[in-house]
Structure formats: structure tokens, C-alpha cells
Amino acid sequence: MEGMRTERDALGQVAVPAMAHWGAQTQRSLLHFPFAERERMPADIVRALAMVKLAAVRINRAALPAGIAGAIEQAAAEIVAGDHADQFPLAIWQTGSGTQTNMNVNEVIASRANELLTGQRGGKSPVHPNDHVNLHQSSNDSFPTALHIAVALAATGRLLPAVDAMIAQIESLADDWRAIVKIGRTHLQDATPLTLGQEFSAFAAQLGQCHEELSTALERGILQLAQGGTAVGTGLNAPPGFAQAMAAELSAITGLTLRPADNAFAALAGQEPLVRFAGATVTLACALTKLANDIRLLASGPRCGLGELRLPANEPGSSIMPGKVNPTQCEMLTMVAAQAIGNHQAVVSGGMQGHLQLGVFKPLIGAAVLRSIDLLATGIDSFTRYALHGLEPDRARIAALLDQSLMLVTALVPELGYDQAAAIARLADDEGLTLREAALRQGVDQATFDRLVRPDTMV
């Protein structure tokens, strides 16, 4: 067939595009899993698999024929650097162990190595995708190792720094606003006062807990690797010490502190580390939703809502109502949070799949977790830049609402008792009086009222 070449695998011959680096197994996967291009395996996973191959060839150099190791190392390093991206066309939706993508990477590295050595793409000589590139490895340990590396790099490189920057900005606002006394609200009803700074300090503390949970999930699970367990966890066909050597080499390549899994059988059979990390992204999504919804509520109006905060005017809010400013960043962030929570449901379903010595659904799990990381990191960065920066308090509105609150009556309770204080609040509400007017009518002298009802001392 014109423009094609013939490749062979254990099932026979397959026609492959002449200029493709991939081989027979990749081509069969393209045939049998014909999903749209948007469903491709994430590039982060492919790159992490190339890191596994790069580490393996460095460790396996003495066991490889002369000249082959250098070519494999160069080919793998090129993929790690982002080259040959068009050579990884396979879908997420394939075998649950990720075997097709592991072989896609093996075939492309072998083809590129052969090109470096002979000038010809493809084939299995002198570099063989299984015997040389995949030496001492299995898809069953290499693919979950790649997932852990991809997630750890994305989390430490993007998500955790985004959370850090958001916390820093919120803490700065909390410090700037520490003296702005405002009315508190519980159940969306007036409550006792606090400062705007105290209100924002809660957001920073909530996000700090999320950061800690994400970091713990990384340290106690994601940074442990399945590599070295080979097919079922026994390490068959891998030399002694291979798991430790791979963890050390991958640590050097990635800059992460990686180590072999405490139990290689569990690392292949179970998927709890990724499920746990996905759960931590859900905790973060919950905190972000609370933050965005509270800011949206406090900024509602600006004249007919609470109107205590002023949002940055990033873009026109309506195609028909001139001058409208909408809480677009709040809506974006809450939608991102909803999608992350949805991704977690897929991860939970995937985490339950697989039988006996191998957990499957690994491509779904890895892709879903990486998507959540990307969405959350981007959403957090955007919200910090375009909502938290430029957010301003409306001090006059805050003071006016504070002055109207009936819950300042709580300050009278220690001297008057709960029942008399409640009677004052009811009287003020029923007859449209100020709290001071109602208290005076109930026999409280003005000096006592002024001494006790001081919002700045109630925070």
C-alpha cells in the first residue's frame, strides 16, 4: 500500500504509515479503539512513561548490546523534552493496564533509536521495543509508575503553587481588612459582628488544610512507585535491586523524591494512592466553592444585594443590561470545582475495578486526576489574578448594615439576661425601631447601652 510500511507483532503483519515511528501494536490499538483526537492519552502520561524508559536504559546499559543503549537513551530523552508528540495518537479508552500506550512509547523509542543507528524508521532491528526498550519492565508496573510521576509533577509544579499563591493573597487581604468591623451571618441571618479580615482568615485556613491534605496524599502514596514489580508484583525478569535503582534514577530525572512501593503486590493490584489524591482534590473543590460562593454573595448587588464587596469589572456582564458586572470568576471557579468532583466519581469507580493481581481502569484514573489538577490549577490562578486582586470592600455599606443589625443585642445578654435581650430585639424588629430605641423603651439606660453595645469590642 502506497505510503505505508509493514510491521509485525505476535499476531502477524500490520500496515503502518511509512513516516510513523509507531509499530504494529500501536496501529492495532488505533484500529480497535477509534476515539476522537480529543480523547488522546494525556501528554503528561506519555512524557512520564518516557522518563521510565530513560531511567531503565541507564540502569540496563550493561545488559544491552553495544551501541543500543545510547540510541535508546537519546530517543527517550527527546520524548521527555516534548519531541515527537504526534507519534502518540492512542486513546485513553483502551486496556485497563495501559498496555497499548506502554507499547506505543516502546515502539516509538525503538523506531527513533533505529533511525539514529541505521537511518530507517520502524522495525525491530537492531533495537527491539520489547527486548530492549521494555527490558526488566512490564506494562503492569511501568504504567502506574508513569501515572504517579505525572500526577506528582503536575501537583508540585502547578496545583500546590497555585493554592499557595491564593492563600498568600487571601492572607494579605485579611491583614489589610483586619480593622473593618462588619456584621456576621449564620444561616444567612444576621449574627454577631466580626471583622472582614477575620472572615477572610477562615478562607486561608480552609485552603491551608486542603494544601496539607494534598501534600500528605502525595507523600504517603503517589511518591511510591510500582516499578520493579513487573507482571504481578514478584519482580519476575527484573534483576535484584531494580526497583530501588529505578526509584533513584527517576528521582534524579524528575527532581521528585521517589521510592519503591512498600508492597509491590498492592501497587499493582490496588489504586488507592490515586483515589486518595483525587479525594484531596475534592476537599479542595469544596473549599473553593465555599470561597467563591461567599464572595459572590458578599458582592451581590451592588445596590440591591449585600454589596459589602466590590468585584473587579473584568468584562461586561450582560448583552442587554448596560453597566452590569457579574461574578464571572466565581462562577468559573465553582464550575471547575463541580467538574473536579465529577472526575473524582469516575476515579472512585475506576478504583474499584480489577481482579486479583491487577487493578485496571488505570488510563481513566490517570487522565481524570490529571484533568482535575489542570482545571483546578488554572481556575485558582485565574481567580487569584482576576477576582482576589482588585477585590475591594465597600466600607460605607458595611458600616450601614452593621448599624442596622439587631444581633448586636447579644452584647446585652451578660447583664440583662437572654429573655430581656430577646424582648428588646423583637420590639425593635416589630416596630421598626433602632436597637438603641428599643432598649431605652425597655428600661435600659443610655449609658449602659453605649457601654455594652460596641461592635469594635465584640470581635
Residues of each annotated binding site for substrate: 97-99, 128-131, 138-140, 186, 319, 324-326
Please state, in angstroms and rounded to a whole number, the distance separating the CA atoms of residues 421 and 412: 6
Please state, in angstroms and rounded to a whole number, the distance separating the CA atoms of residues 405 and 407: 5
End-to-end CA distance of the chain: 80
Among 136, 139, 81, 71, smallest CA distance to 105 is for 139
Known active-site residue 318: yes
Please state, in angstroms and rounded to a whole number, the distance separating the CA atoms of residues 409 and 421: 6
Among 412, 400, 401, smallest CA distance to 436 is for 412
Q: Tell me 42's DSSP state.
A: P
List 84, 111, 132, 187, catalytic entry: 187
Please state, in angstroms and rounded to a whole number, the distance separating the CA atoms of residues 49 and 143: 7
Among 37, 155, 143, smallest CA distance to 363 is for 143
Binding-site residues: 97-99, 128-131, 138-140, 186, 319, 324-326
Strands 392-393 and 189-195 turn out to be: unpaired
Please state, in angstroms and rounded to a whole number, the distance separating the CA atoms of residues 233 and 230: 6
> Cα-atom radius of gyration of the chain, to the nearest Å?
30
Angle at alpha carbon of residue 146, lines to 144 and 148, rounded to 5°: 70
Contact (CB, 8 A) for 283 and 345: no
Sign (positive/negative) of CA torsion 337, 341, 342, 347?
positive
Please state, in angstroms and rounded to a whole number, the distance separating the CA atoms of residues 223 and 256: 8
List 211, 318, 349, 389, catalytic entry: 318
Q: Environment class of residue 320 by beta-carbon count within 10 Å: exposed (0-12), middle (13-18) or buried (19+)?
A: exposed
Rounded to whole angstroms, the maximal C-alpha distance in the chain is: 102
Cell of 129: 521495543
Q: Report the catalytic residues.
A: 187, 318
